[in-house]
Amino acid sequence: MVRRPWRIATTTQLERSVRAAGFEAFVLPASLTLDCNNAISQRLAEGPMVREFLERHDIDLLLDFNGGAFTLLPNPDHPGQAVLTNAALNIPYVVCYLDPLTGTMAQLSWADQWQLFESRDWIKWVWERSYAEELGRLGVPNIITMPMAVSDDDFDTSPLPEPDAGAAVAFMGHPASSWFRSQQPIASGALFPALTAAAVNADMPHLPFHKIYYDLYGFGEPPRPGDDFGTRVTKALDYYNHKFAYSAYLAVKQRDRFARFLKHKLGDAFELIGDHWAKDYELPHTPRIWDRNVLHERMRRVPICLNLMKGSLEANMNVRHFEITGYGGFMLTYYSPELSDCFEIGVECDVFRNEAELLEKIAFYLAHPGKRREIAAAGQRRTLSQHLYSHRLVTLVDLLRQAGVLPRGVGQVGSPPAAPTAGQGDVPAVAAPVGFAS
């Protein structure tokens, strides 16, 4: 049997990585909005265009970031209901989440979102292991876990240029949370689980929120097999509402705090490149760099490129870990428990665990440019050999093959597979068709 390469429909962001992984890439038409915040009506409007595209190119796999290509078709068998476009064609659809699931699809009601999450008709590629576990406990099926990566590109692997004359340390990103600046009144009781989790996190930093919430403290119960859909929706909503303040806390803990600290201590020697810092914290900053080439060159030219994670990260890594190292910058990042799974700390990047250590490491690396260059070069070698999206896609397709999915041209058609990893919940998934409240 001759196997042809997988034909993958995707967005421009992933096109090059798909090809680099040895697959055929078909970029979804520019006429589609591909916006993860699209309302149901927009997703229904774009469904026929996606169907036509998938059929025309005989696609084996649909792949995107954050569910922008998540479109719907009217269900011919159940008027008033809809079916996922990929499911109607029996094509697997993998969504790589850069944000947590609950941070996307903001235009949908929670019940609609939850119904989609419970659907087996698509695969949720979640980068953070604790999120995958949490979704599994809440009954969301078809989850796979892989870290983020950097998109394949023409990486400059030449020795680092001389640093710019400007700041010695730079962070590129926006404030991670506006929660603490909201003028909305907050009921103090609503903070209780989050503050308890923050207290536990201080003593046991490896313990994810869902274990604190359910196992240690029993603040709520995960869905059970007999729960009806309404109960499941409510339980998930309560859980995420309680987690909201915890994520805000983590945002302060992992990002905003250090930006404020370094501005306070280093002044102009620390450059904040991003938006909203003046509005949110009255911190001077330079605007976001939109041109990716300029941004990546900046990563190479600042002596120390700081990485501070968002509150949406409990233990893993964000894109910036791979971006800074991939483009050859020297990365100094706040410690995260799973970082050593991807990088050798002190050899391929370095970490700090608190304010004192941050200042100490900055002073050390500014005084040791040779060491900085050595680490940056080793970090780049690691990322370019292991942490490109092309590497992840090879792993992804292997996982799909293990689950019995083959290219459409070779016998068995890829029906939506059961994902091979990450905890399946006890709750039976809702099979298509699905109905929507809106």
Partner 1 sequence: MVLGVVGGGWWREACAAMHRECVDLPIASHPGGNPHCADVAERLRHGEAIAALLEERRVERLLDISGSGLAFRRRGDGSPDLQLLHESARVLLCSHFIDPLVTAFQGLDWSVVWQSLQSAAWVKAVWDRVHALELQRFGVPQVLQLRMAAPDRAYDRTPLDPARQRPVISFVGTQNSGYFRSTAPLSAPQLFAGALAQAVRGDLGDMTFYDIYHDLYGLGEPVAAGDDLQARIRKTATYFQAKMFFHAALCLRNRDRFVIFLKRHLGNLFQLVGNGWDAAYGFSADPPLPTYEAYLQHFRDSAVNLNLVNGNAESGLNMRHFEITAAGGFLLCYQQPEVGECFEIGRECAVFRDERDLLEKIRYYLAHGEERAAIAHAGQQRTLGEHLYSHRLGTLLGALEPRPLPVAFSARNWREDFAELVPEPDIILDCGANVGQMAEAYRQFYPRAAIYSFEPVGSAFEKLREKCAALGVTPVRKAVGDRDGKAWINLTAGAESNSLLEFLPGNPCERWHRVVGREEIEICTLDRWCKDNGVDPRRVSIIKMDLQGAELKALYGARELLSCVKLLLVEVSFVPLYKDCPLFEEVDRFIAECGFRRRAVYASDQPHNWGDALYYKPD
Report, in Å, the least distance between residue 357 CB and partner 1.
Answer: 9
Report, in Å, the least distance between residue 254 CB and partner 1.
Answer: 8
> Do the bridges between strand 270-273 and strand 82-84 make them parallel or antiparallel, or are there none, so unpaired?
unpaired
- Taking CB atoms within 8 Å and a gap of at least 24, the contacts of 349-353 are 349/321, 349/325, 349/375, 349/379, 350/375
- What is the distance between the alpha carbons of residues 349 and 172, in angstroms, rounded to a whole number? 17
Check binding of 282 to partner 1 (CB under 8 A). no
Q: Contacts with partner 1 in 69-128 (CB under 8 A)?
A: none
Q: Which of 44, 261, 269, 286 binds partner 1 (CB under 8 A)?
A: 261
- What is the distance between the alpha carbons of residues 12 and 28, in angstroms, rounded to a whole number? 8
Check binding of 431 to partner 1 (CB under 8 A). no
Check binding of 179 to partner 1 (CB under 8 A). yes
- What is the distance between the alpha carbons of residues 370 and 273, in angstroms, rounded to a whole number? 25
Question: Segment contacting partner 1 (CB under 8 A): 39-47, 58-66, 83-91, 203-211?
Answer: 203-211
Check binding of 14 to partner 1 (CB under 8 A). no
The DSSP element (H or E) to which 273 belongs, if any, is strand 270-273
Q: Which of 106, 216, 345, 418 binds partner 1 (CB under 8 A)?
A: 216
Question: Under a CB-based contact definition with an 8 Å cutoff, are residues 87 and 430 in contact?
Answer: no
Question: Segment contacting partner 1 (CB under 8 A): 14-22, 95-103, 140-148, 176-184?
Answer: 176-184
- What is the distance between the alpha carbons of residues 44 and 221, in angstroms, rounded to a whole number? 35
Check binding of 191 to partner 1 (CB under 8 A). yes
Question: Under a CB-based contact definition with an 8 Å cutoff, are residues 433 and 75 in contact?
Answer: yes
Site string for partner 1, 306-345 (x = CB under 8 A): ----------------------------------------
Instruction: Please name which of 4, 123, 5 lies closest in space to residue 417, comparing C-alpha atoms.
Output: 123
Question: Segment contacting partner 1 (CB under 8 A): 142-150, 295-303, 359-367, 379-387?
Answer: 359-367
Q: Which of 2, 77, 80, 218 binds partner 1 (CB under 8 A)?
A: 218
- What is the distance between the alpha carbons of residues 94 and 64, in angstroms, rounded to a whole number? 7
Check binding of 279 to partner 1 (CB under 8 A). no
| Residue 134 φ then ψ, to 5° | -65, -45
Tokens of 95: 């969504």
Check binding of 206 to partner 1 (CB under 8 A). no
Site string for partner 1, 241-260 (x = CB under 8 A): -------xx--xx---x--x
Strand runs labelled E in 7-116: 7-10, 24-27, 61-65, 72-74, 82-84, 93-97
Q: Which of 292, 364, 398, 431 binds partner 1 (CB under 8 A)?
A: 364
Tokens of 437: 């409240």
- What is the distance between the alpha carbons of residues 322 and 304, in angstroms, rounded to a whole number? 15
Tokens of 231: 């109960």
| Residue 329 φ then ψ, to 5° | -80, 160
Residues that contact partner 1, how many (by CB under 8 A) = 44
Q: Which of 106, 159, 186, 438 binds partner 1 (CB under 8 A)?
A: 186
Q: Which of 154, 202, 370, 385 binds partner 1 (CB under 8 A)?
A: 202
Give 75 or 254: the residue with its C-beta nearer to partner 1: 254
Check binding of 269 to partner 1 (CB under 8 A). no
Question: Cis omega (within 30 of 0) on the bond before 222?
Answer: no
Question: Under a CB-based contact definition with an 8 Å cutoff, are residues 129 and 313 in contact?
Answer: no
Question: Segment contacting partner 1 (CB under 8 A): 144-152, 154-162, 349-357, 392-400?
Answer: 349-357
Q: Which of 3, 57, 78, 181 binds partner 1 (CB under 8 A)?
A: 181
Q: Contacts with partner 1 in 367-396 (CB under 8 A)?
A: 367
Report, in Å, the least distance between residue 231 CB and partner 1.
Answer: 22
Q: Which of 52, 55, 341, 360 binds partner 1 (CB under 8 A)?
A: 360
Sequence letter at residue 56: R
Instruction: Please name which of 240, 272, 279, 278 lies closest in space to residue 255, comparing C-alpha atoms.
Output: 272
Residues of this chain that interact with partner 1 (CB under 8 A) are: 179-189, 191-192, 195-196, 198-205, 216-218, 248-249, 252-253, 257, 260-261, 264-265, 353-356, 359-360, 363-364, 367
